[in-house]
Amino acid sequence: MAQITLIEAVTQALSYEMHHDTDVICLGEDIGANGGVFRATNGLQQVFGKQRVIDTPLAESMIAGLSIGMSAQGLKPVAEFQFMGFSYPALDQIINHAVRLRNRTRGRLSCPIVFRTPYGAGIHAPEHHSESTEAIYAHTPGIRVVIPSSPARAYGLLLAAIRDPDPVIYLEPSRIYRAVKQEVPDDGIALPLDRCFILKAGFDITLVSWGASLTETLQVARELEAEGFSAEVIDVASIKPLDMETILNSVEKTGRCVIIHEAAQCCGVGAEIAAVLAEQALFFLKAPIKRVTGYDIAIPYLRLEQHHLPNTARIKAAALESLNP
């Protein structure tokens, strides 16, 4: 079996679901003839035709509105925004309509849409191309927010997102689109939504992260292991809703927690995790909860970008401070 990248796993999942469910429609800017800005939909229009892989105008609000209409009539649209920073014109349609349709109709209609978008830093582009504003969507009731961190999870979580009857924001970390390869069977088996994944078991400290930041988090776990500390690494994967049970169980075991994400610290998802831990695991804690995050500024680009992201030095320093209070 050939190994594939995260972006190729996205393509594989889209192709599988479109082959097996004729209600699945892809739409977005340049996704057809050009295969998308990162080539996530490369070749799909040639296989499934222009009626199922639709090139749209540069109009994110229109893309979201069309998707809502399609989903209300029984289709399963997968809409692509070229970058997370370009999704904001669609917020009106997403927040005021897509997420409310089930409640507004008292369950008569649902809204099975997946809004896909590359997100996060790492491609050294201006700030609208490198946004990590997942907390905007995580704060919105009625929607799931899913972030894969590997090719295998990208495949399984995207299948689950397309099959879910309610809206899903599917954030693809562009920094790791082609960073690693894995064998990913094209077997159509979905991974569970709303669940964390324990990537490494440990008993001294819990490291909680998601998306591209897991690359540095796992590296720090290996470095701590070499120094005699056992770190448990949790991939949150679905930041809305949060699987706090898995995180709480881990922190009750280790007594220490460092939360890592590249989004800004203020009102970030890490703050919600820390708040729940303070409410429900306070008496298990042996040290204060730590957060290692991006800074509360518009993300810089080019050479400054690397200083904005949580790096191994910052993560390790926080972990050692927690281990040696």
Band (285; pLDDT cuts 50, 70, 90):
very high
Q: Count CB neighbours of 299 within 10 A.
A: 25
pLDDT recorded at residue 301: 79
Count of structural domains, the chain: 2
Q: Is residue 245 part of a domain?
A: yes
Q: What is the pLDDT of residue 303?
A: 79
Q: Are both 70 and 165 inside the same structural domain?
A: yes
> Which residues are part of the catalytic machinery?
129
Cα 255 to chain centroid distance, Å, stands at 27
Inside any domain, residue 20: yes
The helix or strand, by DSSP H or E, that contains position 323, with its residue range, turns out to be helix 312-323
Percent of the chain with pLDDT over 90: 93
User: Does residue 300 register a pLDDT over 90?
Assistant: no
Q: Give the pLDDT of residue 45.
A: 98
pLDDT, the chain, mean: 96
Q: Are residues 162 and 242 in the same domain?
A: no
114-136, pLDDT tens digit by residue? 999 999 998 888 888 999 999 99
Q: Are residues 41 and 142 in the same domain?
A: yes
What is the arithmetic mean of pLDDT over 300-314?
89
- Give per-residue pLDDT as tens, 271-282: 999 999 999 999
Whether 1 shows a pLDDT value over 80: the answer reads no
pLDDT in tens, 175-193: 999 999 999 999 999 999 9
Q: Is residue 189 part of a domain?
A: no
Output 52-58 pairs: Cβ under 8 A, ≥24 positions apart: 52/18, 52/22, 52/24, 52/25, 52/26, 53/25, 53/26, 53/27, 54/25, 54/26, 54/27, 54/28, 55/28, 55/29, 55/30, 55/31, 56/27, 56/28, 56/29, 57/29, 58/29
Q: Are 130 and 305 in contact (CB under 8 A)?
A: yes
CA proximity to 148, closest of 138, 139, 135, 161: 161
Domain termination residue (choose one: 145, 160, 183):
183
Residue 261 is predicted with a pLDDT of: 98
CATH number at residue 53: 3.40.50.970
pLDDT (mean) for 91-101: 96
For residue 257, give the CATH number of its domain.
Answer: 3.40.50.920
Residue 304 has pLDDT above 90, yes or no: no
| Average pLDDT for 12-33 | 98
Task: Please indicate, yes or no, if residue 190 is contained in any of the structural domains.
Answer: no
Phi/psi region, residue 249 (left: phi>0; alpha: psi -120 to 50; beta: rest), is alpha
Shared domain for 221 and 140, answered yes or no, is no
Check: pTM over 0.85? Answer yes or no: yes
Evaluate if residue 2 carries a pLDDT over 90.
Answer: no
- Is residue 101 located within the same domain as residue 37? yes
Encoded amino acid at 55, one letter: D
Evaluate if residue 291 carries a pLDDT over 80.
yes
Of 274, 293, 290, 291, the C-alpha closest to 282 is: 274
Claim to verify: residue 123 and residue 20 sit in the same structural domain: yes
One domain for residues 135 and 215:
no
Residue 216 and residue 169 in one domain: no
Same domain, yes or no: 177 and 203: no
Which is higher by pLDDT, 220 or 109?
A: 220
User: How much is the pLDDT for 127?
Assistant: 80
Q: What is the pLDDT of residues 205-224, one digit of tens each?
A: 999 999 999 999 999 999 99
Collapse the DSSP code of 261 into the 3-class scheme (helix H, G, I; strand E, B; otherwise coil) and give the result.
strand
Out of 183, 216, 237, a domain closes at 183
Q: pLDDT at residue 243 above 90?
A: yes
**191 domain-assigned:** no
Q: Does residue 171 lie within any of the structural domains?
A: yes
Q: Are residues 26 and 165 in the same domain?
A: yes
Both 247 and 119 in a single domain? no
Residue 316, in any domain of the structure: yes
| Intra-chain end-to-end CA distance of the chain, in Å | 47
* Structural domain boundaries enclosing 167: 3-183
Query: Quick one: three-class SS letters along 53-103?
Result: EEECCCCHHHHHHHHHHHHHCCCEEEEECCCHHHCHHHHHHHHHCHHHHHH
Whole-angstrom Cα distance, residue 62 to residue 90? 8
Q: Specify whether 213 is located in the same domain as 170.
A: no
> What H or E segment, with its residue span, contains residue 18?
helix 6-20
Written as one string, the DSSP assignment of 193-214 is SS--EEEE--SSEEEEE-GGGH
Establish if 188 belongs to a structural domain: no
Which of 183, 215, 235 terminates a domain? The answer is 183
Asked whether residue 302 carries a pLDDT value surpassing 80, the answer given is no
